[in-house]
Copies of this chain bind each other. A is one copy, B any other.
Amino acid sequence: MLPTTGLPYGTVPRLERPGPLRDRVYGALLELITTRALQPGQHLVESELAGHLGVSRQPVREALQRLNTEGWVDLRPAQGAFVHEPTDEEADQLLTVRTLLEAEAARLAAANAGSAGIAALEDLCAEGERAVDADDVDGAVALNARFHAKVMELAGNAVLAELAGQVDRRVRWYYTPVARQRGRQSWIEHRELIAAIADRDEQRATAIMRQHTEHTRKMYHDREK
């Protein structure tokens, strides 16, 4: 019985508050890193970033702290922050974990998804195929991310989603040059995955997703040579 004013929800836009500065700094830095405006190994000087973003050093420090725990930057004591440099081994290990998490998400989605969720997946899939047909690479990549996020949402495990989100973003960062290459085949596999989920076939959904993410690993290794 909260709404004594009689105002329906959503009509008042919750008057947008800027939110903690550190979070916006975090977002800005993450953007700069993922877009490679800040290159791996680069030394991040606090005062420089602070001046560039028009804030004090404190929010920058807190943002760097968070980026550090999430693996985007390395914080060497008494030396400062450096953009993390992924090794081949680490990238490979990350892919292994991603495969694991995504496969589990597919299984849970198959177990839990309702018809509404499946319809949403099909919509995303259709959109993605259109993007590929139109050679809209950026759009296709974005839709691919949204598709996987939707599967994760249908899995209904917030903890899993949190971890997978972290891992996924880093994988995409490492593999940006590669990920853009995978076009049509990727969406065919998505279709198969939807079918398995709709059939509530946990085993098949797991297997398809595993195979799907493993294809990415393969492409990377092929490219390396």
Measured CB to CB, the residues of A under 8 A from B are 19-20, 22, 61-62, 65-66, 68-70, 77-78, 90, 93-94, 96-97, 100-101, 104, 157-160, 163, 167
Task: Give complex CA distance A93, B160 in Å.
Answer: 7
When distances are taken between beta carbons in the complex, the residues of chain B under 8 Å from A65 are 22, 62, 65-66
When distances are taken between beta carbons in the complex, the residues of chain B under 8 Å from A22 are 65
Beta-carbon contact of B163 and A93 below 8 Å: no
11 CB contacts below 8 A, A to B, read A20-B77, A62-B62, A93-B157, A93-B158, A93-B159, A94-B159, A96-B104, A97-B104, A97-B157, A159-B167, A163-B163
Copies of this protein, total: 2
When distances are taken between beta carbons in the complex, the residues of chain B under 8 Å from A93 are 157-160
Beta-carbon contact of A96 and B62 below 8 Å: no
Closest residue of B by beta carbon distance from A87: B158
Task: Give complex CA distance A70, B162 in Å.
Answer: 11
Closest residue of B by beta carbon distance from A98: B159
Closest residue of B by beta carbon distance from A163: B163
Task: Give complex CA distance A93, B162 in Å.
Answer: 11
When distances are taken between beta carbons in the complex, the residues of chain B under 8 Å from A101 are 100
Task: Give complex CA distance A189, B66 in Å.
Answer: 38
Q: How far is the CB of A21 from chain B (nearest CB, A)?
A: 10
Task: Give complex CA distance A168, B97 in Å.
Answer: 16
Closest residue of B by beta carbon distance from A156: B93
Task: Give complex CA distance A20, B75 in Å.
Answer: 11
When distances are taken between beta carbons in the complex, the residues of chain B under 8 Å from A70 are 69
When distances are taken between beta carbons in the complex, the residues of chain B under 8 Å from A167 are 159, 163
- 9 nearest A-B residue pairs (beta carbon): A93-B159, A93-B157, A69-B69, A65-B65, A62-B65, A66-B69, A94-B159, A20-B77, A97-B159
Closest residue of B by beta carbon distance from A22: B65
